[in-house]
Amino acid sequence: MQVTKIIGNQGIPNKEKHQYTEEELQHEYDYIRTEQMTKKLLDKGLITVDEFNKIMKLNQQIFSPNLVDIMP
């Protein structure tokens, strides 16, 4: 087994933290709320799984959430 010692930030890109604007935070919140409401419609049988997926895809386009890639 080979062990490599890493000292400091060698080879690791320095990524600055993104400071969210008020508008970006509002879009994230709006996306999450619409997802919750749409899920309730699905759970109550008022929409199909296919309709749910179409609505969520449209919501991603409308709200452009930054965190959508890490959301389940």
All structural domains of the chain with their residue ranges: 22-63
Q: Determine what percent of the chain is predicted with pLDDT higher than 70.
A: 75
CA angle 48, 60, 13 (to 5 degrees): 135
- pLDDT per residue as tens digits for the range 5-34: 766 665 556 566 767 788 888 888 888 899
Give the pLDDT of residue 19. Answer: 79
Neighbours of 8 (CB within 10 A): 6
Structure tokens at 69: 């890639």
In sequence order, which residues have a C-beta less than 8 Å from that of residue 31 and are 6 or more positions away? Answer: 59, 60, 63, 65, 68
- How many residues in the chain? 72
